Structure 1
Amino acid sequence: MDQILSSKAETGVLGLDDILSGGLTRRHVFLLEGSPGTGKTTVALQFLLEGAKLGERCLYISLSESDEELRDCARSHGMVIGDGIEIFELVPPESLLDADQQQSLLYSSDLELGETTKLIFEAFERVRPQRVVIDSLSEIRLLAQSSLRYRRQILALKHFFSRSDATVLLLDDMTSENFDKTVHSVVHGVIHLEQLAPDYGSERRRLRVIKYRGQSFRGGYHDFIIRTGGVAVFPRLRAIEHKTGFERTSLSSGLPEFDGLLGGGIERGSSTLLIGPAGTGKSLFALQFVNAAVARGEKAAAFIFDEELGLLFSRTKSMGIDLEKLRDDGHIHIEQLDAAELSPGEFAQRVRDRVASFDAKTVIIDSVNGYQAAMPEENALILHMHELLQYLNRQGANTFLTVAQHGLVGDMKSPVDVTYLADSVILLRYFEALGKVRRAVSVIKKRTGPHEDTIREFRISNKGLTLGEPLSGFQGVLRGVPSFIGDQQPLLPMTDKDGDHS
Structure 2
Amino acid sequence: MDTKTVTPHYAQTGVSGLDDVLAGGLTRKNVFLLEGSPGTGKTTIALSFLMTGAALGEPCLYITLSETEVELRNGARSHGWDLGHAIKIFEVSPSETLLDADQQQTLLYSSDLELGETTRLILAEFERVKPKRVVIDSLSEIRLLAQSSLRYRRQILAFKHFFASRDATVLLLDDLTSEATDMTVHSVAHGVIKLEELSPEYGAERRRLRVLKYRGQRYRGGYHDFAIKQGGVAVFPRLVAGEHRTGFARTQVTSDVPELDALLGGGIEQGSSTLILGPAGTGKSLYAIQFVAAAIRRGEKAALFVFDEELGLLFDRVRVMGFDLEAMQSSGNLHIEQVDAAELSPGEFAHRVRTSVDTARSKTVVIDSLNGYQAAMPEENALVLHIHELLQYLNRQGANTFLTVAQHGLVGDMKAPVDVTYLADTVILLRYFEALGRVRRAVSVIKKRTGAHEESIREFRIGSTGLVLGAPLNDFQGVLRGVPTFVGNLGPLLTPNASAEPNA
TM over 0.5: yes
CA distance in 1, matches of 2:58, 2:4: 10
Residue type matched to 2:316 in 1?
Answer: S
> 2:116 is matched with which residue: 114, 128, 144?
114
Would the aligned equivalents of 1:472 and 1:489 in 2 still touch at CA under 8 Å? Answer: no
Deviation, 1:2, is 6.5
2:242 counterpart residue number? 240
Equivalent position of 1:470 in the other structure = 472
Matched with 2:68 is 66
| Residue 317 of structure 1, CA deviation | 0.2
Name the SS for the 1:339 alignment partner: coil
Kindly provide the CA deviation profile for residues 428-473 of structure 1, in whole angstroms up to 9, marking residues without a partner as x: 0001111110000000000000100100000000100000011111
Instruction: State the alpha-carbon separation in 1 of the partners of residues 489 and 200 from structure 2.
Output: 58
* Counterpart position of 1:500: 501
Residue 294 (str. 1) matches residue 296 (str. 2): yes
Look up the SS of the partner of 1:492 in the other structure: coil
Paired with 2:153 and 2:495, the residues of 1 have a C-alpha distance of 82
Corresponding residue number in structure 2 for 1:147: 149
Aligned residue runs from structure 1 range 36-47, under 5 A: 36-47=38-49
Q: What's the CA shift string for 1:46-101, capped at 9, x where partnerless?
A: 00000000000000000000000000000000011122210000000101111111
Match of 2:89, SS?
Answer: strand
Q: Could you tell me which residue of structure 2 aligns to residue 190 of structure 1?
A: 192
Given the alignment, which residue of 309, 316, 319 partners 2:318? 316
In structure 2, distance between residues paired with 1:488 and 1:436: 14
Q: Could you tell me which residue of structure 1 aligns to residue 133 of structure 2?
A: 131
Report the Cα distance in structure 2 between the residues aligned to 1:138 and 1:201, rounded to whole angstroms. 31
TM-score using structure 1 length: 0.99
Per-residue CA deviations over 1:139-195 (Å, capped at 9, x if unaligned) read 000001111111111111111111011100000000000020110000100000000
> What is the CA–CA distance in structure 1 between the aligned matches of 2:502 and 2:181, rounded to whole Å?
63
Q: Distance in 2 between matches of 1:137 and 1:2?
A: 34
2:355 matched residue in structure 1: 353
Which residue in 2 is equivalent to 1:19? 21
| Equivalent in the alignment of 2:58 | 56
TM-superposed CA distance for 1:107, in Å, is 1.1
Q: Tell me, what secondary structure is at the counterpart of 2:67? A: coil
Structure 2 SS opposite 1:375 = coil
- 2:214 maps to 1:212: yes
Q: How does 1:420-499 map to 2 (within 5 A)?
A: 420-496=422-498
Secondary structure of 1:170's aligned partner: strand
After TM superposition, give the deviation of residue 488 of structure 1 in Å: 3.5
Q: CA deviation at 1:231?
A: 0.4
Amino acid in structure 2 at the alignment position of 1:478: L
> Whole-Å Cα distance in 1 between the matches of residues 97 and 107 of structure 2?
16
What letter matches 1:194 in structure 2?
A: E
Shift of 1:330: 1.3
Mapped partners of 2:49, 2:380: distance in 1 = 36
Q: Distance in 2 between matches of 1:233 and 1:488?
A: 59
SS class of match (2:211): strand
Counterpart-to-counterpart distance in 2, 1:199 and 1:276: 29
Q: Secondary structure at the match of 1:320?
A: coil
Aligned to 1:416: 418
- 2:501 and 2:94 mapped to 1: Cα distance? 79
- CA shift digits 1:193-244 (9 cap, x unpaired): 0000000000000000010001110000000000000000000011111100
Tell me the amino acid that sits aligned with residue 464 of structure 1. G
Structure 2: unaligned runs, 5 residues or longer: none
Count of matched residue positions in the alignment of Structure 1 and Structure 2: 501
What's the offset of the Cα at 1:4?
Answer: 3.8
Q: 1:138 is aligned with what amino acid?
A: S
In the alignment, what sits opposite 1:403? 405
Q: Which amino acid aligns with 2:22?
A: L
Q: Give the match for residue 276 of structure 1.
A: 278
Structure 1 residue 356, shift from structure 2 partner: 1.2
Deviations 1:411-432 (A, max 9, x none): 1011000000000000000011
Residues 330-378 of structure 1, C-alpha deviation per residue, up to 9 Å, x if partnerless?
1101000100000000000000111111110000000000111111111
Listed one character per residue, the Cα deviations across residues 81-133 of structure 1 (whole Å, up to 9, x for unaligned) are 12221000000010111111112221111111111111111010010000000
Q: Within 1, Cα distance between the matches of 2:361 and 2:455?
A: 34
- CA distance in structure 1 between the partners assigned to 2:467 and 2:268 by the alignment: 17
The TM-score, its normalising length taken from structure 2, stands at: 0.98
Amino acid at match of 1:120: I
2:323 and 2:490 mapped to 1: Cα distance? 34
What is the alpha-carbon distance in structure 1 between the residues aligned to residue 328 and residue 4 of structure 2? 52
